[in-house]
Amino acid sequence: MIYKIENVPKLEGKIAIGGSKNAALSIVVGAILCKDIVILKNIPDITDIHDLIEILNYIHCRVTYQNFTLTIDARQIEYKDLRIQQIKKLRASYYFMGAFLSLFEKVEIYKPGGCNFGKRPIDIHLNGFEKMGAIINETENDVCMTCPNHLKSQQITLSFPSVGATINLILASILIKKTTVLRNVATEPEIVDFVQFLKAMGANIDGEGTKTIIIRKIKQLHGCSYTIMPDRIECGTYLIYGAALAKKLTLTNIISRQVRSLLSIFIEMGVDIDIKQDQITIYETKHLKPVKIVTGPFPSFPTDLQQIICPLLLKADGQSMIIDTIYSKRISHIEELKKLNANVKIVDNCMLISKSNDLKGNIVTCNDLRGGAGMLLACLMAKGKSYLMNTQWIERGYQNIIHNLKLLGASIERCDENEIL
Ligand code: EPZ
């Protein structure tokens, strides 16, 4: 899929942020633990969600999705071997490990797919499952687990506050008849949203948002209706687009405190911004100061936004630096930015970004979801016409992005290859 993008004078207008991709993906899988009807609202219309729905249908869950509302009925759910291609389409498919261990005390599944920025091991997940009594047979492509003596409640300390491992181990613990304690867990807002959803289904959990989560036994889960939190990474994405190109841009349906690490960078850069609890307005800012950004687990600057803020830093008066401590190989956008005449380079795992006044349109490529969102911004900033290839990566995580950007005045269209040749 290709986007044709032309330089815009300025973006202006208002955008309502959609539901959180990363919260929705874990919550959709969590819903299959419940032998009742679960209604999920504010589910974003993105390909990752549709890929997950395919998997739910495969295991005989009845699913409907309309007007951003997903209704899931898992009362007829069946155990299936999950070594199927759909599993490889997204990273979040690995949540079926924890869910199937809870439901069936066994799972056969391909290793997950998702963005490729270096090794993305799942050892923290598997170490936790093993400690809970799972017998694991892992190969290069798949993982098979059984629990001959049933899953046992445990006290588990994660070696790193992994978002996915935190969620997976909660999924595996939720139906165990004794108390499980997870330490050194992730504290991201998506974890809090996921646990609050489980509580809406009757789960007995404490500590979400802190470093220790306690999961106590329950009689059974019941159906519920739950609204997913706004997407803080989509919010951050449009805030960065606004800081780079807006005359005036207002974002609504947001939770400002969830993007406070980005907002503090904006304040350091001198971005003209008006912050309310659930709405932010960005104004055109003539001079931006360079900054040093180091990513880390929440509440540090999120790795998911470093590829997107990179093009904005090309406007700063000096040299900025980005160090991604979560994924040191999350650098696919750097070579693509150079094709637009950007002054960027990598020295010892440090991205160095220098003022570049003369970005020129070109043919460039998305290599992953957030790198693609960053390249889309760079193409909007570049003079002349650009063609952005492999934009299906972007549509994995951003709903209506072309519609939203056109509303703000951007010149962006889907096109096919013969337009470029
Ligand atoms: C989640 O991925 C998000 N994906 C990612 O967003 C996000 O970048 C990441 O958290 C960090 O915030 C979803 O929620 C679907 P991790 P996840 O486990 O769970 C290492 C996006 O753009 N690690 O917190 O896979 C890992 O290599 C995506 O929306 C292990 O070593 O991230 C990384 O260095 C991209 N062993 C660090 O921990 C493990 O078993 C953080 O990974 C697990 C992780």
pLDDT digits (tens, 9 = 90+) for 9-63: 799 999 999 999 999 999 999 999 999 999 999 999 999 999 999 999 999 999 9
User: For residues 79 and 144, is the Cβ–Cβ distance under 8 A?
Assistant: no
Indicate if 239 and 152 belong to the same structural domain.
no
Sign for the CA dihedral angle at 43, 254, 215, 166 comes to positive
- CATH number for the domain spanning 200: value is 3.65.10.10
Q: Does residue 119 lie within any of the structural domains?
A: yes
Where among 155, 184, 217 does a domain terminate?
217
Indicate whether residue 412 lines ligand 1 (CB < 6 A).
no
Q: Whose CA is nearest to atom 34 of ligand 1?
A: 326
Indicate if 178 and 198 belong to the same structural domain.
yes
Tell me the average pLDDT across 225-236: 98
Q: CA–CA separation, 328 vs 323, rounded Å?
A: 8
Indicate if 169 and 239 belong to the same structural domain.
no
pLDDT tens digits for range 283-300: 999 999 999 999 999 999
Indicate if 93 and 63 belong to the same structural domain.
yes
- Backbone φ/ψ region at 24: left (φ over 0), alpha (ψ -120 to 50), beta: alpha
pLDDT tens digits for range 157-193: 999 999 999 999 999 999 999 999 999 999 999 999 9
Sheet containing 135-138, strands listed edge to edge, beginning at the edge strand earlier in sequence? 106-110, 142-146, 135-138
CA of 50 to the centre of ligand 1 (A): 21
Ligand 1 binding pocket mutation candidate from 21, 46, 91, 329 (most atoms within 8 A of CB): 91
Where among 194, 217, 240 does a domain terminate?
217
3 state SS of 282: strand
Helix %, strand %, coil % of the chain (to 5):
35, 25, 35
Q: Does residue 223 lie within any of the structural domains?
A: no
Q: Does residue 63 lie within any of the structural domains?
A: yes
Query: What is the pTM for the complete model shown?
Result: 0.97
Tell me the average pLDDT across 87-107: 97
Indicate whether residue 333 lines ligand 1 (CB < 6 A).
no
User: For residues 272 and 247, is the Cβ–Cβ distance under 8 A?
Assistant: no
Indicate if 236 and 187 belong to the same structural domain.
no
Q: Decide: residue 200, CB within 10 A, 0-12 exposed, 13-18 middle, 19+ buried.
A: middle
CA distances to 77, 95, 212 from 165, in Å: 24, 9, 13
Indicate whether residue 316 lines ligand 1 (CB < 6 A).
no
Q: CA–CA separation, 97 vs 138, rounded Å?
A: 13
Q: Does residue 224 lie within any of the structural domains?
A: no
In the chain, the number of structural domains is 2
Residues catalogued as catalytic: 115
Q: Whose CA is nearest to atom 19 of ligand 1?
A: 164
Question: Which DSSP helix (H) or strand (E) runs through 212?
Answer: strand 212-216
Question: Which DSSP helix (H) or strand (E) runs through 385?
Answer: strand 385-389
pLDDT tens digits for range 335-378: 999 999 999 999 999 999 999 999 999 999 999 999 999 999 99
Looking at residue 112, the DSSP 8-state letter turns out to be P
Indicate if 50 and 90 belong to the same structural domain.
yes
- Tell whether the model's pLDDT for residue 306 goes beyond 90: yes
Indicate if 101 and 134 belong to the same structural domain.
yes
Q: Does residue 366 lie within any of the structural domains?
A: yes
Pairing type for strands 385-389 and 363-365 reads parallel
Indicate if 27 and 105 belong to the same structural domain.
yes
Indicate if 90 and 160 belong to the same structural domain.
yes
> What tokens does 85 get?
């291609």
Would you place residue 421 in the very low, low, confident or very high pLDDT band (cuts 50, 70, 90)?
Answer: low
Q: Whose CA is nearest to atom 21 of ligand 1?
A: 304
What pLDDT sits at residue 268?
98
Q: CA–CA separation, 177 vs 196, rounded Å?
A: 20
**Which of ligand 1's atoms lies nearest the C-alpha of 91?**
15
Ligand 1 binding pocket mutation candidate from 20, 21, 22 (most atoms within 8 A of CB): 22
Indicate if 95 and 114 belong to the same structural domain.
yes
3 state SS of 412: strand
Q: Does residue 180 lie within any of the structural domains?
A: yes
Range of the domain at 69: 21-217
Where among 189, 217, 245 does a domain terminate?
217
Mean per-residue pLDDT of the chain = 96
> What tokens does 150 get?
């049933």
